[in-house]
Amino acid sequence: MTRILIVDDEGNIRRLVASLLEAEGYTTTEAETGEDALVKMAADEPEAVLLDLALPGASGLEVLERIADDWPHVPVVMMSGQATLGDAVQATRLGAFQFLEKPLTPEAVLITLKSALELRRQRDLNLALRRELEPGQELVGSGPAMEEVRALIQRIASTDSRVLITGESGTGKELVAVAIHALSSRSRGPFVRINCAAIPRDLIESEMFGHEKGSFTGATSQRRGKFELANGGTLFLDEVGDLSPEAQAKVLRAIEAGEIERVGGDELIPVDVRIVAATNHDLEAGVKDGTFREDLYFRLHVMPINIPPLRDRKDDIPGLVAHFIERFRTRHGLRPPNFTDSAIQALVAYDWPGNVRELGNAVERLMILYPDRVIAAPEIATVLPRARLAGPEPIEQSGSLSDMLEGYERQLIQSALTTADGNIAEAARRLNTDRPNLYRRMKRLGIRREGVEDDSPNA
């Protein structure tokens, strides 16, 4: 629910505005003084504030200034029946979204509040976008494995050594590369990424080193390559294990010489770049079978970092879920669902072949499918159908088929009832059936829940 804080020393106004907003589906909190408002802001941050100008104690402008300092993303709508032009100018300077004159009209309150909330949503979206685009994104996870990775990043970042990051797809290798750059002395320089697996073989040299106008068909202008663009900063060679043998030789030459030559050019261009490479391949095996150059491997493998797969650090899953909920809440403007313990257990029980990327995709789908809903193990199964979900113990395969089917049906119903805290209607919804059918099945199977008889259709 969207929470609105109403701050006014007149109780009648607070109650009238609260009634209006609650009728429109908002949740409201009231404060009589500025001091009380700041306490409530700290305890439960609202999405927007309606703030009276004239308050006992701290004035509305003083409270506005505090909110702007401590909660700059929360829009504030000022209210007053005695505001001067100077008050309005001062409030605007301090960051007020708009001034509403008393007596208030329902239309003005609702239209202004809707606009303020849209501003809040846009601010959240922009903040999320900046966080995704800027270097230094936070590595999520507080388990021992990620703490070890963080400690290694801290030690490596202060040097200028080349780094080779290994790990399965989706483990967050690029995030590690970004963190190394952000913590290094090159952080003010560019961070340039090239996906070595996504570039056709006949274009890899042009992408890496650039080309001169007319050097090949389609080269209609001069172009700088990734090495030049990364000069003074960090060049991230993602999926370096997919480089062709020819490209490996050219990259090795650029690293050893510290200079490059554009395709079709005859000028040697010095470049000062730190190389951070990443791969999900076993490069040592590639060296042995001849698909990866040994000399390039040793050039890159100065400081290795291995990112463990998610299945080996499942204690990070609850924190990652919270991280993705916040990311997608701001990106899509969705009301976050409530993940129950059974939902988290189901996520922990899954093996995550796609690692953190797969978990993020699953959370995003759940938020789109079940906004502002309670998510338990059955909802997890809708986005991870092959998940090894936490639930009833496996049925012993003994007895007739009829007996085994009946036993499995009993377990499904009992699991749904447990997840729904005994609520028959909710359990029926989770089982995709209606209440009368569920009651009949429970009666046939001898399932008794406290209070069910009083709630039965025939009671």
Per-residue model confidence as pLDDT tens digits over 257-307:
888 888 888 888 898 999 999 999 899 999 999 999 999 999 999 999 999
100: phi then psi, degrees, rounded to nearest 5: -110, 130
Whether the per-residue pLDDT at 186 is higher than 50: the answer is: yes
Q: What is the rounded average pLDDT of the residues 238-253?
A: 89
Q: Do domains 311-383 and 401-455 have the same CATH topology?
A: no
- Comparison of pLDDT for 367 and 404, the residue scoring more: 367
Q: Could you count the other beta carbons within 10 Å of the beta carbon of residue 207?
A: 20
| CATH classification code of 3-132 | 3.40.50.2300
Per-residue model confidence as pLDDT tens digits over 224-238:
888 988 888 899 999
Q: Binning pLDDT at 50, 70 and 90, where does residue 65 land?
A: very high
Distance CA 257, CA 408 (A): 68
Q: What is the rounded average pLDDT of the residues 132-146?
A: 64
What is the pLDDT of the chain when averaged over all its residues? 84
Per-residue model confidence as pLDDT tens digits over 101-131:
888 999 999 999 988 888 787 666 555 544 5
Report the share of the chain in percent with pLDDT over 90.
31
- Comparison of pLDDT for 445 and 18, the residue scoring more: 18
Query: What per-residue confidence (pLDDT) applies to 207?
Result: 85
User: Contact 5/41 with Cβ under 8 angstroms?
Assistant: yes
How many residues in total does the chain contain? Answer: 459
Distance CA 119, CA 123 (A): 6
Distance CA 182, CA 168 (A): 23
**Where is average pLDDT lowest: 123-137, 203-217, 249-263?**
123-137
| CATH classification code of 401-455 | 1.10.10
Q: Binning pLDDT at 50, 70 and 90, where does residue 14 land?
A: very high
Query: What per-residue confidence (pLDDT) applies to 82?
Result: 78
User: Contact 432/412 with Cβ under 8 angstroms?
Assistant: no
Q: What share of the chain is helix, strand, coil (3-state, %, to 5)?
A: 50, 15, 35
Long-range residue pairs from 147-150, CB within 8 A, at least 24 positions apart, any chain: 149/176, 149/305, 149/307
Query: What per-residue confidence (pLDDT) applies to 172?
Result: 87
Q: Binning pLDDT at 50, 70 and 90, where does residue 76 land?
A: very high
- Comparison of pLDDT for 163 and 86, the residue scoring more: 163
Q: Binning pLDDT at 50, 70 and 90, where does residue 458 land?
A: very low
Distance CA 445, CA 409 (A): 9
Q: State the amino acid at position 2 in one-letter form.
A: T
Distance CA 383, CA 366 (A): 7
Based on its alpha-carbon atoms, the radius of gyration of the chain, rounded to whole angstroms, reads 30
Q: Which fold has domain 311-383?
A: Helicase, Ruva Protein; domain 3 (1.10.8)
Distance CA 82, CA 383 (A): 56
Per-residue model confidence as pLDDT tens digits over 412-457:
888 777 766 677 887 887 788 888 888 888 888 888 764 343 344 4
DSSP 263: B
Query: What per-residue confidence (pLDDT) applies to 456?
Result: 43
**SS3 (DSSP) at 103:** coil
Query: What per-residue confidence (pLDDT) applies to 39?
Result: 92
Is 144-308 CATH 3.40.50.300? Answer: yes
User: Which sequence spans correspond to the domains of the chain?
Assistant: 3-132, 144-308, 311-383, 401-455
Per-residue model confidence as pLDDT tens digits over 335-394:
788 898 888 988 998 888 889 989 999 999 899 888 888 888 888 888 886 654 444 444
Identify the CA nearest to 77 among candidates 93, 86, 65, 64.
Answer: 64
Query: What per-residue confidence (pLDDT) applies to 214?
Result: 78
Q: Residue 239 corresponds to which tokens in the numbers above?
A: 């999926």
Query: What per-residue confidence (pLDDT) applies to 399?
Result: 62
Give the DSSP letter string of 353-375.
TTHHHHHHHHHHHHHHHSTTSEE
